Amino acid sequence: MEPHPVIIFDWKNSYKKSAIINKNGFAGFICLLGGLTTYFNVNELLISLSMTLDFAEKGILSNNTNHGMRVAYIAGRIAKELSMTDEDIFDLVSYSLLHDNGVMNARLKKIGYKNSFKIENDPEHCIQGEKNISSFPFLHKKDNVIMYHHERYDGSGFFGVEGRNIPMYSRVISLADIVAIRYSMGMDSDYIVSSIAGEARIYDPVVRESFNSLSRHVEFWLGMEDMFVKDSLISMLPKVSTSMDFRQIRNISQIFSRIIDAKSPFTGSHSRGISEKTGFICRYYEFDEKTYWKMRIAADLHDLGKLAVPNEILDKPGKLDSKEFRVIQSHPFYTRKVIGMIKGFEDITEWAANHHEKLDGTGYPYGFDKERLDFNSRILACVDIYQALTEDRPYRKGMSHKKAIDIMAGMSANGLIEATIVEDMDSIFRNMA
């Protein structure tokens, strides 16, 4: 389904400029959180975002899609079998969905790794993954779950941690990960069960017995199929929601921002830079707090769809051919489809997914024009261009502030981007360059 049209108001009179921007002025303003709080099921939010982790992981590790969701489903079912509390299941599912979040960082650090075995058998993805989730809003934060998710009960894992010294969540994820990988490789259930039995020493015996119990039921295996796994996971989740404001939700979006930026050595700070600059502009226009944080989230996630784009295209030093450019053009589409699944993210979806659209309708992927693009979409589009021009790329060095603004002024004169925003960006960023 195509996105619904946005009703455009008189945006020219919908904002005010602040003559002075300073940190002291912002400090008191940031504390005014009235109207920000809403209720989110964090797991459902994470399930949607984690789909992009599966895109990325498939390209690097050659796993089938839905690996993260499949691990979370298996882990959650084992947790229920172990009679864990709803709160523990809730957190375990979050850790499971995020268990391989450090793969992208590991690939970037060890850029020579070309296959799954080298990355999977390097503890770097565990170390980076643990760092990435430091600010995730778990109900009860537990240390080293991601760090030790490849540890073995007999002490033969990356770090030599054994037995009950391994966090319980890690012990569950370790087995669930192996089962999910073997399932995605096309191994049948009997073979998977027998192979786990043959490796009994490396798994917690209680966790292994719980898995054995589940494995006897046909529905357990059917729930792992690609067409069912998301629904199986959602239906299994305990009905636990937590009150969060959009500032707290940004703790989640920042995790994905770091993963997106780690996709390529040439985008190491792209999303972070856009989010920071978007924040300055929102303060300049004196946006309310809710809009401010929603814009920061949109900036964090605007390139989410790039996780589905092959690196040989993203990192190509020369000009892209028409086929490669069409692949690049697909990433805002994927961004819209993923973020659009999250209830309460309707505005965020619009702003994030429209960042390559142009006022004259020549942008992509939808060809929206000025009648369809609201002011906040226009802001993010301008910031994205500015950030891209001023940062290093495979084919050139980053430009100066003046040169970037000159190019953008030319674009605005040709009716591509909003002239007022370009002028204001010049005022805001001139002394920051």
Q: How do residues 45-70 score in pLDDT, each as one tens digit? A: 888 888 877 776 665 655 557 899 99
Residue 179's pLDDT is what? 97
For residues 132-159, average pLDDT: 94
Residue 416's pLDDT is what? 98
Residue 109's pLDDT is what? 62
Q: How many alpha carbons fall within 13 Å on the CB side of residue 211?
A: 29
Residue 85's pLDDT is what? 95
Residue 353's pLDDT is what? 98
Residue 53's pLDDT is what? 79
* Six token digits for residue 291: 């809009």
Residue 33's pLDDT is what? 37
Residue 241's pLDDT is what? 64
Residue 30's pLDDT is what? 30
pLDDT digits (tens, 9 = 90+) for 244-255: 789 889 989 998
Residue 116's pLDDT is what? 46
Pairing, β 242-244 against β 38-40: antiparallel
Answer yes or no: CATH 1.10.530.10 is held by domain 11-38+245-429: no
Q: Phi first, then psi: what are they for 242, rounded to 5°?
A: -130, 145
Residue 256: is its pLDDT beyond 50?
yes
Binning pLDDT at 50, 70 and 90, where does residue 40 land? low
Helices and strands (H and E) in the chain: how many: 22, 2
Check if the beta carbon of residue 124 is closer than 8 Å to that of residue 104: no
The alpha carbon of 255 is separated from its chain's Cα centroid by a whole number of angstroms, namely: 6
In CATH terms, the fold of domain 63-236 is Hypothetical protein af1432 (1.10.3210)
For residues 85-111, average pLDDT: 84
Please name every residue paired with 38 in a beta bridge, in sequence order, or none if there are none: 244
Among residues of the chain, what percentage have pLDDT more than 90? Answer: 63
For residues 146-150, average pLDDT: 98
How many residues are given for the chain?
433
| Helix-strand-coil split of the chain, %, nearest 5 | 60, 0, 40
Report which listed range, 4-13, 100-109, 193-202, 312-321, is most confident.
Answer: 193-202
Residue 343's pLDDT is what? 85
190 exposed, middle or buried (CB, 10 Å; 0-12, 13-18, 19+)?
A: exposed
Binning pLDDT at 50, 70 and 90, where does residue 432 land? confident
For residues 305-316, average pLDDT: 84
Residue 165's pLDDT is what? 98
Residue 323: is its pLDDT beyond 70?
yes
Residue 113's pLDDT is what? 44
Least confident piece of the model among 45-49, 86-90, 198-202: 45-49
Least confident piece of the model among 1-10, 140-149, 327-336: 1-10
For residues 404-413, average pLDDT: 98
Q: How many alpha carbons fall within 13 Å on the CB side of residue 57?
A: 23
**3-state SS, residue 87:** helix
- The 10 Å Cβ neighbour count of residue 327 is 14
Residue 24's pLDDT is what? 30
**3-state SS, residue 64:** coil
The dihedral through the CA atoms of 124, 127, 130, 134 has a sign that is: negative
* Six token digits for residue 225: 């199929």
Residue 283: is its pLDDT beyond 80?
yes
* Angle value at C-alpha 352, between 249 and 343, nearest 5 degrees: 50
The dihedral through the CA atoms of 64, 69, 73, 79 has a sign that is: positive
Of residues 59 and 144, the one with the higher pLDDT is 144
Residue 180: is its pLDDT beyond 60?
yes
For residues 100-122, average pLDDT: 65
* Six token digits for residue 27: 């400090």
pLDDT digits (tens, 9 = 90+) for 378-392: 999 999 999 999 998
- The 10 Å Cβ neighbour count of residue 25 is 11
Q: How many alpha carbons fall within 13 Å on the CB side of residue 278?
A: 32
Tell me where in the chain the CATH 1.10.3210.10 domain(s) lie.
11-38+245-429, 63-236
386 exposed, middle or buried (CB, 10 Å; 0-12, 13-18, 19+)?
A: buried
pTM, 2 dp: 0.84
pLDDT digits (tens, 9 = 90+) for 6-37: 323 233 333 333 332 433 333 222 333 345 56
For residues 119-140, average pLDDT: 87
Least confident piece of the model among 155-164, 262-271, 283-292, 400-409: 262-271
Please give the DSSP secondary-structure letter assigned to residue 360.
B
Least confident piece of the model among 52-61, 143-152, 211-220, 328-337: 52-61
Residue 139: is its pLDDT beyond 60?
yes
Check if the beta carbon of residue 393 is closer than 8 Å to that of residue 266: yes
282 closest CA partner among 350, 370, 379: 379
Tokens 């994205």 correspond to 384
pLDDT, the chain, mean: 85
Among residues of the chain, what percentage have pLDDT more than 70? Answer: 83
Residue 338: is its pLDDT beyond 80?
yes
Of residues 140 and 239, the one with the higher pLDDT is 140
